Structure 1
Amino acid sequence: MLLPKVELMTDEELIALAREAAAKAYAPYSNFCVGCAIESVEGEVVTGANMENACYRLGLCAEQSALTAAQHKFGLDKVARIAVVGGSDATICTPCGGCRQAILEAAQLSARDVEIICGSGDGSAVEGHTIGELIPFGFGPANLSRPA
């Protein structure tokens, strides 16, 4: 029996959702608003935005926010693509090191080299990467042995 083909969003549609999420960011200290949209292998989408805190260390990245929503909606093992945009100029926004590690966790759980579409805050530039390109030789669940 053939399953119906899932229609996934275009890169532009996924980036647009990340931009909408960035508009909802709480970034009064840096004024660097970041939005993230995550699409599952079944076409479901969740979003997240960064949320700063006066105690800077307690802030939350957009990717972490969206990954938490993804886990609750469809599971990290079903993450297919991620779009990240941020800032206000032509500089392309990529996930920070901590977010790359969190995305690697989802990628290893799913056995997919998750695609990450990165965009500039002003909408003038977009580039695609995989998590394998952004965190080569990453350490994650696949590196941990489980007790017998």
Structure 2
Amino acid sequence: MKEIKIESTLYVFDNVHELPQEAFKLMQKAVEAREKAYAPYSKFHVGAALLLDNNEIITGNNQENASYPSGLCAERTAIYYAGSQFPNAKVIRMAISAGSKNNQTKEPIPPCGACRQAIAEYEIKQETPIEIYFMGETGKVAKSKSLANLLPLVFDKSVL
């Protein structure tokens, strides 16, 4: 038997005002998108904003449905829209802000597993990392230089 150690590195900022200017602006777009989320069931609102290499900024938010599996997360809403409208553009950076109407979220909230897999597909397709910033409503902001830090054993086309 052999042991394999997997490590991830995240960078944590005390608040959004510590972010580099370009990341701060993108996070503002994610917060604006979060405020427009449709989440009448969970009361958990998420906004995402993507910066593409053509300087387009794409936003998305979660869209719930009474039939829960039919809804879609903010990150996938944004990245699928970017992929459909700008198929040759690369995603440079992603900002995510999540908040609950039931209690204030102060810790960074990373993408769910399904969103990590979807983001991984685009990171692999474009052959460059996607920088990801994520936060709750307030408080600390976490940064990952690549989706690979958040999903180290990615399922990709090489196994098909």
Same fold (TM over 0.5): yes
Q: Sort the Cα spacing of 1:97 and 1:80 in 2 relative to 1 into closer, same or farther, 3 A.
A: same
Determine which of 82, 94, 108 is the counterpart of 1:92. 108
TM-score after normalising by structure 1: 0.85
Contact preservation (8 Å) 1:38, 1:66: yes
Deviations 1:8-44 (A, max 9, x none): x711000000000000100011110000001112221
Q: Secondary structure at the match of 1:99?
A: helix
The alignment-based identity, stated in percent, is 38
Matches within 5 A, 1:1-148: 10-75=22-87, 78-87=90-99, 88-121=104-137, 123-129=138-144, 130-141=146-157, 143-144=158-159
Q: Secondary structure at the match of 2:110?
A: coil
Q: 1:49 Cα shift?
A: 0.3
Q: d(CA) in 1 for partners of 2:153 and 2:97? A: 25
Give the paired residue count: 135
Higher relative CO (Cα under 8 Å, sequence separation at least 6) belongs to 2
Q: d(CA) in 2 for partners of 1:92 and 1:76? A: 30
Deviations 1:33-91 (A, max 9, x none): 00000111222110000011111111110011101211133226511111111014202
Query: Gaps spanning 5+ residues in structure 1: where?
Result: 1-8
Contact preservation (8 Å) 1:76, 1:106: no
CA RMSD of aligned residues (A): 1.5
Deviations 1:71-123 (A, max 9, x none): 133226511111111014202111100000000000001101211110111x2
Q: Secondary structure at the match of 1:35?
A: strand
- 2:127 counterpart letter in structure 1: A
Query: Gaps spanning 5+ residues in structure 2: where?
Result: 1-20
